[in-house]
Amino acid sequence: MKRLIAKHVLITGASRGLGRQLALDFSREGAAALALCARNADALQAVKREINEIAPDSNVIAIEADMSRTADIERLFAVALSEFHGRLDVLINNASALGPAPMPLLLDYPLEAFQTVLNTNLVGPYLTIREALPAMFDQGGSIINVTSDAGIVGYPGWGAYGVSKFGLEGLSQTWAAELAETHVRVNWVDPGSMNTAMHRAAEPGEDPKQWADPADVTEVFIYLASDESEGVNGQRFEAQKFNRAERHRAAAS
């Protein structure tokens, strides 16, 4: 059964890795409309073509945008909401910047790079949520932020990326608390170690074969985007541990 029928969805960082896989799987689950954004327009168009092969009737728009830039975020939502006639059911804040690779210690971290990572990974999601809320207040909506275990443990060498994810955890908790009396829910997902270009750049000495394929971690996102998770708010999920028992636990919390 397709679980995302009639859903209008916006996914940031959708040109590769987890974002690309989410776009493909959401289209398979029947999403009515998808707005996909990333900095690489060519890669984004390639994802759009893949979706058109899977679901020829899907309404897919590809928007080149940099989540570290306020003007790009404002333009992204202006285009998406115009195309969606003001409707938005699901926002997935997936776009992330790693920063310099190999990642330097904080003492040696270039200030400009530090600021860019925080703008992309923390300020960007704050702004996208703020832009999305007016379209969600009336009919409700699901906001899903992509976090990391580097946001709960201060690993040496993970620098601005780790700091930004610590911030995103707090941002998610605060938005969830402030929106608790509305029909908008905010949850966040740690996808775990995945075989993506970003993770390979972060840990070039490791064997990527030991990491999960992005296709193996999208189930929790589909759950949180669907009506099945109605009422689930303010929770942190580990995608690689998500199963039926976890689904029932979340619904009961």
| Active site positions, annotated | 161
Rounded CA separation 60/89 (Å): 15
- For residue 128, with 0-12 CB atoms within 10 Å meaning exposed, 13-18 middle and 19 or more buried, which class applies? buried
* 205-236 b/e (C-beta count within 10 Å ≥ 16 → b): eeeeeebbebeebbbbbbbbbbeebeebbbbb
Q: Report helix angle 41-54 to 17-28, nearest 10.
A: 20
**Which residue carries 């703008």 as its tokens?**
119
User: CB of 95 within 8 A of CB of 37?
Assistant: yes
Using only the alpha carbons of the chain, give its radius of gyration: 17
Joined together, the tokens standing for residue 124 give: 């960007």
